[in-house]
Amino acid sequence: MRGIYTPVTNLRRQVFAEIAKLAYEGGDYSRIEEIPYKIIPGEVPTYRDSVFKERAIVGERLRLAIGLPLRRADEHAPVSKGVNESAVDKRVYEPPLVNVISFACNACEEKSYRVTDNCQGCLAHPCVSVCPVKAVKLVNGKSTIDQEKCLKCGRCKEICPYNAIVKNERPCAAACGVDAIESDHLGRATINYEKCVSCGQCLVSCPFGAIADKSQIFQLIHAIKTGEEVIAEVAPAFVGQFGPLVTPQRLKEALKQLGFSDVYEVAIGADIGAVEEAHHYAHNVATGEQAFLATSCCPSWSVMAKTQFPELASCVSDALTPMVATARIIKKEHPNARVVFIGPCASKKLEASRRTVRSDVDFVITFEELMGMFVAKEIDFGDMEGEEMVDATAAGRGYAVAGGVADAIVESIHELYPDLQVQVDRAEGLRNCKKMLAIAKAGKRNGFLLEGMACPGGCIAGAGTLQPINKAVAAVKGFQQDAPLKEAVESPRIKQMQDE
């Protein structure tokens, strides 16, 4: 549903904008209690069966947008509980990142097959013949399915010549590539956090808006208000996310109007990673010392690979992700600066907090959360001008789109090791990523470069994006074409690092 401005999108944007306003204005934060009444005015419900339920859900969204935990449905506590303690200029994060607001969940049926009105009552009725447990019967000439007997095998659906049988599946579960969506005692969705890799696909797939992730915009704004140096690093997927009027130059100027001291492209770090992984492939995989090389820039993909295929963990690249590589450049050039990663991805919030890696990233927000800040500050892009972004190459900018990571690495290999041939396999979506790793585990991808992307389409389809995938792809491709330098090996940052 990304790129479609639905009521869920509207509610999320209002919540982020109101939390941003709260942080900018300061003062008595107990007035957060009034915000649900501002977002859901009047007495007549708009989205659900009760206006009180609508406000209660908004209250939980407000808490998550501040980084606070959900309240239990049977707990007596104000929306403002813990808000004052969270009004600080440092990251506030307590797992879990992705949360189900239980009373917002529709308790969708996990999985079932149903016969629709399209059933023609045909003479052959193959659906009856193929059912292994005789769950499909004819009643008044039409097929019906006994749900108590049904095995959910789907054979009846596959064989129906009229497509009269449909599969009903909980949308969040269908989107989850690691099967982390389960059910509580009331049939409502819950998340198994031992499986969850925080890709956020459930978040953008729930049509009831019952799933939300925690935000850091409240604390980020407090950091900006201190007057200290706060620098933004923007992920390659940013192009076109804020509408056709918002060019890269205007976005850079808008970020400065929000209070950011400077803006870096994360594609700089992507260039560095592409060259590093090219060397790694040549020295380890091409020589036979390592079976294959799997990219590591997508945290949900790499965590899934290491946890579900621990025997293959050593084949996942240990190169710094573009986010971290860029942050370290910023910290080197601005030792006292706070670094804020702005991107499309929920799981980057976890990567920045991971204790096993010194990320140098102080805050992570998504494009959607940034839009809330723009709305709060009433940023007008119309007459805005700004500076060009020129540091990154076309290859680094291409990391935003599925296939772009592998392309950048292969191009670097061909430049650095002209005689070396590279075989590539890639997958989008965690289910497909698991299939690719299963093939690799069987020894059928030895010598390969594997690119994994948790989100179908790549980073431009992340949970924090705003535009349809096709529009986002076109915008990124155009930005690549504008880059004066095309291949990662041409990056001036890499030449500078080599000189140093």
Q: 385 falls in which pLDDT band (50, 70, 90)?
A: confident
Region 426-430: mean pLDDT is: 98
Q: How many CB atoms within 10 Å of residue 286?
A: 17
Mean residue pLDDT across the chain:
95
% of the chain residues with pLDDT over 70: 100
CB contact at 8 A, 277 and 322: no
Comparing 3-7, 239-243, 278-282, the range with the smallest average pLDDT is 3-7
Q: What pLDDT, on the 0 to 100 scale, is given for residue 93?
A: 74
Please state, in angstroms and rounded to a whole number, the distance separating the CA atoms of residues 308 and 154: 27
Q: Does pLDDT of 1 surpass 70? A: no
Region 60-77: mean pLDDT is: 94
% of the chain residues with pLDDT over 90: 91
Q: Does pLDDT of 75 surpass 80? A: yes
Please give the domain boundaries of the chain with CATH numbers for all domains. 7-100+192-219 (no CATH), 112-168 (3.30.70.20), 227-499 (no CATH)
pLDDT in tens, 390-426: 789 999 999 999 999 999 999 999 999 999 999 999 9
CB contact at 8 A, 113 and 167: yes
Which of 323, 317, 319 has its CA nearest to residue 448?
Answer: 317
Q: Does pLDDT of 85 surpass 80? A: yes
Neighbouring residues of 55: CB distance < 8 A, sequence distance ≥ 6 = 36, 37, 39, 40
Full-model pTM: 0.95
pLDDT in tens, 102-143: 999 999 999 999 999 999 999 999 999 999 999 999 999 999
Which of 203, 207, 170 has its CA nearest to residue 8?
Answer: 207
What is the three-state SS of the chain? CCCCCCHHHHHHHHHHHHHHHHHHHCCCHHHHHHHHHHHCCCCCCCCCCCHHHHHHHHHHHHHHHHCCCCCCCCCCCCCCCCHHHHCCCCCCCCCCCEEECHHHCCCCCCEEEEECCCCCCCCCCHHHHHCCCCCEEEECCEEEECCCCCCCCCHHHHHCCCCCEEEEECHHHHHCCCCCEEECCCCCEEECCCCCCCCCHHHHHCCCCCEEECCCHHHHHHHHHCCCCEEEEECHHHCCCCCCCCCHHHHHHHHHHHCCCEEEECHHHHHHHHHHHHHHHHHHHCCCCCCCEECCCCHHHHHHHHHHCHHHHHHECCCCCHHHHHHHHHHHHCCCCEEEEEECCCCHHHHHHCCCCCCCCCEEEEHHHHHHHHHHCCCCCCCCCCCCCCCCCHHHHHHHCCCHHHHHHHHHHHHHCCCCCCEEEEEECHHHHHHHHHHHHCCCCCCEEEEEECCCCCHHHCCCCCCCHHHHHHHHHHHHHHCCCCCHHHCHHHHHHHHC
Region 47-58: mean pLDDT is: 95
Region 385-392: mean pLDDT is: 84
In the chain, the amino acid numbered 478 is G
Q: What pLDDT, on the 0 to 100 scale, is given for residue 294?
A: 98
Q: What pLDDT, on the 0 to 100 scale, is given for residue 362?
A: 95
CB contact at 8 A, 103 and 56: yes
Q: What pLDDT, on the 0 to 100 scale, is given for residue 28?
A: 92
Q: What pLDDT, on the 0 to 100 scale, is given for residue 25?
A: 96
Structure tokens, 500: 């140093």
Region 267-284: mean pLDDT is: 98
Structure tokens, 213: 């992730």
Structure tokens, 169: 């599946």
pLDDT in tens, 153-212: 999 999 999 999 999 999 999 999 999 999 999 999 999 999 999 999 999 999 999 999
Write the CA distances from 340 to 257, 287, 326, 493, integer angstroms. Answer: 15, 39, 11, 20
CA neighbours closer than 13 Å in the CB half-sphere of residue 136: 28
